[in-house]
Structure 1
Amino acid sequence: MNGNASLAIASPAIHTWSTEAVPLPQRLDYWIGAVCEGFLEMDVTSSCAGSFGATLESAPLGAIGVNRVRGSAQDVYRTRRAIAHSRSNYYYLLCKTDSPWVAVQEGRSARMLPGDVVLVDSRRCYELHLLQSADTLSLELPTGWVESWLPDASDQVARRIDGQTGWGRVLSGFAQQLSPQGVLRPPLPAALLTDHLGGLLALAAGTAAETSEAAAPGEGARAAQRRRVLDATRERHAEPGLTAASVARGLGISERSLHRSLNEGATTFAAALSGFRMQVARRMLGDARFDRLGIAEIGFRVGFSDASHFVRQCRRSLGLTPGALRRQR
C-alpha cells in the first residue's frame, strides 16, 4: 500500500477508507478510487453495485502492512495498465475465512476454501474473485523480504496453501491473529513477529510446492534441485569466500547445473548468497542481544572477511550502513 512506507516511519495509526462516506449510488466508484489510493492500482467490478458497501483498514507492522477488507462481493483485477501506473509493488498474502473464492495469476487458478492462504505478486497481472463477500486479510509484504524467505517466490504465486493441514494451518492461524488494531500495540517486537511470519510462510509454501511437484515430476525435479542449491547456500552462507563451485561439489552436481537451476528460478548464486547474508545481518543488527558485537564481527559472522565490504554491501542491499541499521531499531 502506497501509504504504508510513511506509516512505518511516523507514529503508527490505522488508515480507514469506507464507502459510508458517500451516497449509495457513488459507493462503488468511491471504492475503486479508495483502493487505488490506499491499497494498489486495481480495477474493481461488483455484481451488487446497487447495494455496494466496503471498508478498508490498514496499519503497519514493521516493514509489512496489515490490511483488513470487509464488504460486498467483488472481482478485483490487477492489469498491465495498473502495473505501469504503480509507484510501488509488493507481494500480498491473502486469507479469507468466511467463504470460498478464487485467485488467478501466472496461468494458475487457485480455488480457495475458508482459511486457505495464497500469495500474489503485484508486479504481474492477477484476478481475485470474491464471490460472496470481500472479507479478507491482506498482508502487504515487500518483494525483497518475501524473496529472502522464498528463493523461488515467483513459483509460489497463486498456489493454494491449505489452511487446514500441516504448516499451512499454522500459517493461517498466525495470520488471522493479525489485525490493524492489534498491530498498533503488538504483543512482541514487530521484527520478531515478521520473522515468525516469514518462517511460517517458507515452511507452508515448501509443503504446497511439494504437493504441486508430485503432479509434475519433470518440473518438480528441477525445482527440487534449485531448493537443494539454495538450502545449501543458506546453510553455508557464513563461510568467507564461498563459491558456486564449492556448493556444487558439496551437492554432487556440476557448477553448470547449479547455475542453470538458479537461472530457471530467476536468480543467481551471487544474488542468493548476498540475500542470505544480508537477511541474517539485518536480524543481528536489529536484535539488542548482539549489541556487544562490533560491526566487523557481525560482518565476519555472516561471511564477510572484509569489514568495509560488509558496510558497502549493507548500504547497497539494505539501504543503510550497519551502524545506521542498528541505531534505527
Structure 2
Amino acid sequence: MPTLIATSDLPAADRFEYWRSAVTDTFVPLRTETSRPDRFDGRMRGTELGALTVTEIAASPHVVRRTAPLIARSDPGHYKIGVQLGGYCLLAQDGREAALVPGDFAIYDATRPYTLAFDDPYRQLVLMLPRRLLRLPQEAVAGLTATRVSGRRGVGALLSAFLVQLAGRLDEIDGHGSVRLGDNIVDLLVTLLA
C-alpha cells in the first residue's frame, strides 16, 4: 500500500517546514528551499518494490540540494532516477546539467552533491535504489549522471512510457508482484545505461 504525504491539510505557515522534513525522511538528507514558503503545497505518494523505492511527487516551485556536509552526515549509497511527469526540472551534478521536460529522465548519485531546481509547479517520479543493484562500474555511471534521456525515442521511450504508467498505478501495486516488478525496472535501467 503506497504511503501518502500531503501538506494541503496543514496551516499555510507550517506546510513548507513539514515538506522539508518529509523530503529528507523519504529520500536522503537534503536542503530544500523556496522563495514562497507561505504559498507552498506538496504531495508525495510512494511505495517499495523490493529494494527499489518509487515516489511520485507533485509540488510548488522549490530547489533541492544534496550538499557535501549532508552527504557526510548520511550516505546510504543510492542512485536516484528522476522521471519528469509534468512541469520542468533542471538537474545539476558533476559539472553537467539536464533540463527535463515531461517524459525525460536522468540518473543522479546521492553519494555526490547535486541540485534539482523546479521553477514552476511540477510532477516527478523518483526511483531510488542501492548503487550495487545497477551492476555497472561506478565510473561508467558517473559519466552518465545529470544527462537527459529522452522519453521520445529508443529504449528511453520504452522505459519512460512504462514509468509514466507506473506513476499512475502506484495504488494498484500489491506485495505479491512488487519485488519482481522492481527487479524488472532495474533490469530495464541497466539495459538502457549499458
State the TM-score, normalized to the length of structure 1: 0.54
* 1:184 aligned residue: 174
Q: Evaluate the alpha carbon distance shift between residue 89 and residue 143 of structure 1 in structure 2; reply closer, same or farther with a 3 A threshold.
A: same
Percent same amino acid among aligned pairs?
A: 27
* SS of residue paired to 2:111: coil
* 2:126 aligned residue: 138
1 CA distance for matches of 2:45 and 2:137?
Answer: 27
- Matched to 1:201, the amino acid is L
Mapped contact 2:75–2:110 kept (Cα < 8 A)? no
Mapped contact 1:102–1:109 kept (Cα < 8 A)? yes
Mapped pair 1:72 → 2:60: yes
Which of 11, 25, 29 aligns to 1:37? It is 25
Which of 39, 42, 55 aligns to 2:43? It is 55
* SS of residue paired to 1:181: helix
1 CA distance for matches of 2:160 and 2:45?
Answer: 19
- Matched to 1:19, the amino acid is T
Mapped contact 1:48–1:72 kept (Cα < 8 A)? no
Matched ranges for 1:43-192 at <5 A: 43-86=31-74, 88-146=76-134, 148-149=135-136, 152-179=140-167, 180-184=170-174, 189-192=177-180
Give the count of matched residue pairs. 191
Bigger CA radius of gyration: 1
2 CA distance for matches of 1:79 and 1:138?
Answer: 19
1 CA distance for matches of 2:127 and 2:9?
Answer: 25
* 1:284 aligned residue: none
1 CA distance for matches of 2:123 and 2:35?
Answer: 16
* 1:248 aligned residue: none
C-alpha deviation, 1:141, in angstroms: 1.1
1:11-39 CA distances to partner (integer Å, 9 max, x unpaired)? xx322222134310121111111111222
- Compute the RMSD of aligned alpha carbons: 1.9
Mapped contact 1:118–1:160 kept (Cα < 8 A)? yes
* SS of residue paired to 1:104: strand
Mapped contact 1:92–1:141 kept (Cα < 8 A)? yes
Structure 1 runs of 4+ with >4 Å offset = none
C-alpha deviation, 1:191, in angstroms: 4.2
Q: Evaluate the alpha carbon distance shift between residue 195 and residue 182 of structure 1 in structure 2; reply closer, same or farther with a 3 A threshold.
A: same
1:20-65 CA distances to partner (integer Å, 9 max, x unpaired)? 3431012111111111122221011123322101011221111111
* 2:6 aligned residue: 18
Q: Which has the higher strand share?
A: 2
* SS of residue paired to 1:168: helix
Q: Which has the higher helix share?
A: 1
State the TM-score, normalized to the length of structure 2: 0.89
Q: Structure 2: 5+ residue runs without aligned partners?
A: none
